[in-house]
A and B are shown apart, each in its own frame.
Chain A
């Protein structure tokens, strides 16, 4: 296991379609985070899991967004009825309880 893996790396979708991204964290890490980064900005926190429990959600995470982490392993982030404003880099990170977060390479979403 060499790090946090995200799939796909790039996704182009039409407005109104649903998309799902996957994140595989570093295997022993119990914490998993989703962030979003738009051009010229730093990453912004979306949500956080400790094992399978979703413990925090940002107000950025509208009702169209849902994240899951079944069995406390991989996680999925789904966006329903995509809008052009959802175009961004979606970053996943994982950590142990008292260590730094390690980020994946991200999924770049373009909504046309």
Chain B
């Protein structure tokens, strides 16, 4: 039973346009959500996070939106750059934001983003 789902295995976007990566979750206990970026042969790199008390968090070109009622989050990258080409993982945890949790992360399967120059 996959608790975090990324239904698009891949996405291609033109350089300068917006990239939108989607993620759905089923566990209503999740209260902290993160996006990681992964290049081949490297470990995941933290990108941006959002707690369940917010519906939006922005950091430069990256914005994460959370819709708790729909159990859906999305990552927007504007403008997209060729260096953004990587696999993006959505992850979720219970209690991590409050410090009560362990940061045991549940990951989706990832979406491979290709930004075309």
On A, residues with C-beta under 8 Å from B are 4, 6, 31, 33, 35, 40-45, 48, 50, 55-56, 91, 93, 95, 97-98, 100-106
Contact = CB atoms under 8 A, between A and B. Distances in A.
B42 interface: yes
B41 A48 contact: no
Given A97-B99, A100-B49, A56 B104 contact: yes
| Most A Cβ at <10 Å: residue of B43, B104, B105, B107 | B43
A56 B42 CA distance: 25
Given A42-B110, A44-B107, 17 more contacts: A31-B103, A33-B103, A42-B4, A43-B44, A43-B105, A45-B105, A48-B104, A56-B102, A91-B44, A97-B99, A98-B99, A101-B103, A101-B105, A103-B43, A103-B45, A105-B42, A105-B43
B33 to A, nearest CB: 11
Given A91-B44, A98-B97, A98-B99, A45 B106 contact: yes
A44 B105 CA distance: 8
Interface of B: 4, 34, 36, 41-46, 49, 89, 91, 96-99, 102-110
A93 B43 CA distance: 9
Contact of A106 (B43, B98, B106): B43
B104 A45 contact: yes
A95 B103 CA distance: 8
A41 B96 CA distance: 23
